[in-house]
């Protein structure tokens, strides 16, 4: 008998039901939760997808870990970030979500093993672990002027069933970047405790204040770096993600052998997008630059508007597409988010959506068109400050 509720299935809360109800009325809303760059007025080159018509795609030549053309293109793209990756240590996936699922299958026995997940963080991880029968064990990020790993919660939660540790840098939604000591601490624990480090870097191209240099991962730890075109080229509809494998040679070779078997079982990545990978990355640089300009502009607008509302704090954001507001806790986050929806016509994420440790926080996207963003933020400030 099949369960009526899949692991990780989303259960609508009051806010979700309210959003659905108001959208059904056709009411105009300012959506400050949008994360789709293709619907916020970002200009795309009309030829950006031309490479998908490569005639080589008419011939199907399955390659479990990905065509060498795609793997080489990804390795070259890492070079612009100052990261050295060999093409034969790149695994092509259809998305970052699929990459997680593949790695959970690689590292964990279902309904027995666990991975450690950061909170606050995007709730997708709870669903992905549930669908693969993997137990999630949280460790906390704390805010003390900047977001940092609470290593006490990590060590307290670590048990002998942990097979992997997930770190997100830049984090979504906090926008925090792992420091060198933090990454060193994570890698050392994984190496000593026979676990793998899964490093999600999908927002690495979007520093808010200045260029960002990726932190080098210590070599003694089996590491899986995740990326994808969804963020790096602003192409969520062109399904291409990847895993770059690093660490001790023996562990890497074993992991790649097992990954080849897993990926060969599904062969999920289409041929056209693999042949087009190099061109998509090259042409996607223009889109990436436009997105970066948008989020930096909107972050400045946000801080400028917040200056008039001393009860509202815009927390520091180092990189990414989101900003976090700390607001007066005169009512619950959910009540405030519903009031913003019903009286101000603005959609925001409450902090509990991302498992913030306490109230009251709101999370807003930095992607909307700037005039729309400014009007939405103004309404948020007026309502939250009242």
In angstroms, what CA-CA distances link 53 with 47, 56, 87, 275, 350?
11, 8, 24, 9, 42
Regarding beta strands 241-246 and 223-228, do their DSSP bridges make them parallel or antiparallel, or are they unpaired? antiparallel
Instruction: Name the more confident of 7 and 166.
Output: 166
Residue 156 has pLDDT above 80, yes or no: yes
Report d(CA 227, CA 371) in Å as an integer.
30
Between CA 144 and CA 162 the distance in angstroms is: 28
Q: What gap in Å lies between CA 123 and CA 352, rounded to an integer?
A: 10
Report percent pLDDT > 70 for the chain: 96
| CATH hierarchy code of domain 61-282 | 3.40.640.10
pLDDT, mean of residues 148-172: 97
Average pLDDT value for residue range 145-172? 97
Which band of pLDDT confidence, cut at 50, 70 and 90, is reported for residue 12? low
pLDDT band at residue 2, thresholds of 50, 70 and 90? very low
Nearest to 225 by CA among 239, 241, 207, 248: 241
- Contact between 95 and 237 (Cβ < 8 Å): no
All structural domains of the chain with their residue ranges: 14-43+285-385, 61-282
SS (H, E, C) 112-168: CCEEEEEECCCCHHHHHHHHCCCEEEEEEEEECCCEEECHHHHHHHCCCCEEEEEEE
Indicate whether 219 pLDDT > 90: no
> CA 263, CA 318: separation in Å to the nearest integer?
34
Residue among 154, 111, 107 at smallest CA distance from 131:
111
Structure tokens at 172: 């979504």
In what helix (H) or strand (E) does residue 92 lie, and over which residues does it extend? strand 90-93
Instruction: Identify the CATH number of the domain defined by range 14-43+285-385.
Output: 3.90.1150.10
* Residue 111: per-residue pLDDT: 86
Q: What is the mean pLDDT of residues 99-103?
A: 98
- Is 60 exceeded by the pLDDT of residue 194? yes
Handedness of CA 279, 261, 230, 357 (dihedral sign): negative
């Amino acid at each position: 008998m099949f369960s009526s509720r899949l692991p990780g299935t989303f259960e609508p809360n009051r806010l979700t039901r309210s959003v659905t109800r108001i959208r059904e009325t056709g009411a105009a809303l300012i959506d400050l939760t949008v994360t789709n760059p293709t619907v916020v007025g970002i200009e795309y080159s009309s030829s950006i997808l031309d490479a998908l018509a490569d005639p080589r795609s008419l011939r199907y030549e399955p390659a479990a870990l990905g065509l060498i053309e795609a793997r080489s293109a990804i390795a070259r793209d890492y070079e612009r970030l100052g990261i050295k990756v060999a093409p034969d240590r790149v695994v092509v996936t259809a998305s970052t979500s699929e990459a997680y699922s593949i790695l959970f299958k690689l590292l964990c026995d279902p309904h027995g093993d666990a991975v450690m997940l950061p909170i606050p963080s995007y709730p997708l991880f709870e669903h992905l672990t549930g669908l693969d029968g993997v137990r999630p064990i949280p460790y906390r990020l704390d805010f003390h002027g900047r977001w940092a790993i609470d290593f006490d919660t990590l060590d307290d939660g670590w048990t002998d069933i942990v097979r992997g540790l997930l770190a997100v840098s830049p984090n979504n939604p906090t926008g925090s970047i792992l420091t060198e000591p933090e990454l060193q601490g994570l890698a050392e624990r994984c190496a000593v405790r026979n676990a793998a480090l899964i490093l999600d870097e999908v927002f690495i191209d979007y520093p808010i204040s200045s260029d960002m240099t990726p932190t080098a991962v210590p070599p003694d730890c089996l590491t899986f770096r995740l990326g994808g075109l969804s963020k790096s080229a602003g192409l969520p509809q062109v399904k291409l993600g990847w895993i770059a494998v690093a660490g001790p040679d023996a562990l890497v070779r074993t992991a790649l052998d097992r990954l080849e078997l897993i990926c060969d079982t599904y062969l999920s990545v289409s041929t056209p997008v693999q042949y087009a990978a190099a061109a998509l990355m090259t042409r996607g640089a223009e889109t990436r630059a436009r997105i970066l300009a948008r989020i930096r502009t909107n972050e400045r607008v946000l801080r400028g508007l917040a200056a008039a509302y001393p009860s509202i704090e815009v927390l520091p954001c180092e990189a990414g597409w989101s900003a976090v507001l700390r607001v007066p806790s005169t009512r619950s986050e959910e009540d405030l988010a519903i009031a913003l929806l019903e009286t101000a016509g603005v959609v925001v994420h409450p902090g509990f959506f991302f498992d913030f440790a306490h109230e009251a926080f709101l999370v807003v996207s930095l992607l909307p068109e700037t005039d729309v963003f400014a009007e939405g933020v103004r309404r948020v400030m007026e309502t939250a400050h009242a």
